[in-house]
Each structure stands twice: as C-alpha cells, then as structure tokens.
Structure 1
Amino acid sequence: MIIQKIFSILCAILVWIIGVSFFLLSFYVPILENLERQSNIVLVIAIIPSACLGTYLFYTKSYMKPSALAITFIIVATILDVLITVPVFIIPNGGSYSEFFGDPMFYAIIVEFYFIVLYFGNYLTKRIKA
C-alpha cells in the first residue's frame, strides 16, 4: 500500500516535470504575440501524453483506482506548483501566487488532467483484467 502511494507520487512528479518543461520551453519559441496564452496552450496539449505516460507507468507496476490516481497526480502537481513553479518561475517574471492560482486556465488544466488520468486509467485497468 505505501509502496504504491510512493510510486504514484513518483509518476506524478514525472508528469509534472514534463508539463513544466513544455510550459517553460514554449516561451523560447514565440509563435503567438501573447506568450502566456501560448504557454497555456502548449501545456494543455502536452498534458495529454504526459498524463498518459505517467498513468501507463503506474499501472505497469502497481494498482490503484483511477480516480484516486488522478487525485494523487493533481495534489502532487499543485504542491510542486506551490513550492517550485510559482516561486522559481512565476514570481521572478512579475507574477504572483494569486495571479497563478486565480487564473481560470489553471483550473481548466486540472479538470483536463483529472479526466485524462481517469479515462486512461480505466482503459488500462480494463485491459489488465481482460
């Protein structure tokens, strides 16, 4: 039980690292005039394969209800955003915690993240049981 929780946290950290990497890299390839919007678009797209990868890696070694795994991924990502993303990347560029967590896009990405892990987790668990 404890090992599966630790493994789920490690998979969540991997997903967060991939997501933040794409978010930050998008600033170096300006396509849109509004770089903040561009980075959010990139993150919305990048979270799909990232969440699927983390979910797949988790289910190759362990089992947990997909809804619990999705919540674990979201909690870990939010904690890492509080501890790392905002103070290291957002505040030095003129942002703040309230701006970051007050952005409706943050919550849209959380909902997307939850449903990707839930859907793909359900898919994988059905394949495992079959």
Structure 2
Amino acid sequence: MIHNITRAILSAIMVWIVGVAAFLLSYSFPVLSNPAIQANIALVLAIIPAVCLGTFVYYKKGEITPSNLALIFMSTAAILDLLVTVPLFIIPAGGSYAIFFSDPMFYLLMVEFYCIATYSGNYFIKKQQA
C-alpha cells in the first residue's frame, strides 16, 4: 500500500511540474492582452494531457482506485502550491496566499483535476483488464 501511495504522489508531482511549467511559460508568449488570463487558459489546457500522463504512468504498476488517485493528485498539487508556487511565484508578483486560495480558478482547476484523473484512471483500468 505504501508503494502505491508513493507512486501516486510521484505521479502527482510530475503532473504539478507540467502544470506550473505551462503556467509560467505562457507568460513568455504574449498572445492575449491579459497575461494572467492567458496563463490560466494555458494551465487549464495543460492539465488535461498532464493528468492523463500521470494516471497512465501510475497505472502501469499501481492499484489505487481512480477516485482515490484523483484525491491524491489534488492533495499533492494543493500542498505543492502552498509550499512552492505561492512563495516562489505568486508573492513576488504581488499576490498572497489569500488571493491565490480564494481565486475561483483554483477550485475549478481542482474539479478539472478530479474529473480527468477519475475518467482517465477508469479508462486505463478497463484497458488493462481487456
């Protein structure tokens, strides 16, 4: 069981790294006049393949149910946001913990995280059983 949780957390860290990279890289390519909205759009779009990749990597050898995997992914991302994203990227840009965690976009991303991880987890489990 510990191996499964460790594997799930490592997959979640990989997903989080891809998401943060997409968020930060979007500022390098100005497409929209509002860079914050552009970064959020990039993150919403990047989360889809990142979570699918994370679930794929996990289910090569893991056995946690998709809903529990989704909760581990969400928890890991929230903790990493608390410990890394906010102090390193948000606060220096003039934000705060309160602003970051009260933004409705944070919670919409968590719902997206849960739905995609659950759906792709069920898909990979069914594919393995076939």
TM-score of the two chains, using structure 2 as the length reference = 0.98
SS in 1 for 2:91: helix
1:75 to partner: Cα distance: 0.1
AA at the equivalent of 1:112:
E
1:36-79 CA-to-partner distances (Å, cap 9, x unmatched) read: 11000000000000000000000001111000000000000000
Q: Percent identity?
A: 55
For 1:41, the equivalent position in structure 2 comes to: 41
AA at the equivalent of 1:54:
G
For 2:81, the equivalent position in structure 1 comes to: 81
CA distance in 2, matches of 1:35, 1:109: 18
CA distance in 2, matches of 1:4, 1:57: 12
List alignment gaps of at least 5 residues for structure 1.
none
For 1:115, the equivalent position in structure 2 comes to: 115
List alignment gaps of at least 5 residues for structure 2.
none
For 1:67, the equivalent position in structure 2 comes to: 67
1:69-96 CA-to-partner distances (Å, cap 9, x unmatched) read: 0000000000000000000000000011
Aligned length: 130
TM-score of the two chains, using structure 1 as the length reference = 0.98
CA distance in 2, matches of 1:43, 1:18: 9
CA distance in 2, matches of 1:27, 1:90: 13
CA distance in 1, matches of 2:103, 2:38: 14
SS in 2 for 1:61: coil
For 2:92, the equivalent position in structure 1 comes to: 92
Root mean square deviation, CA, Å: 0.6
AA at the equivalent of 1:44:
V
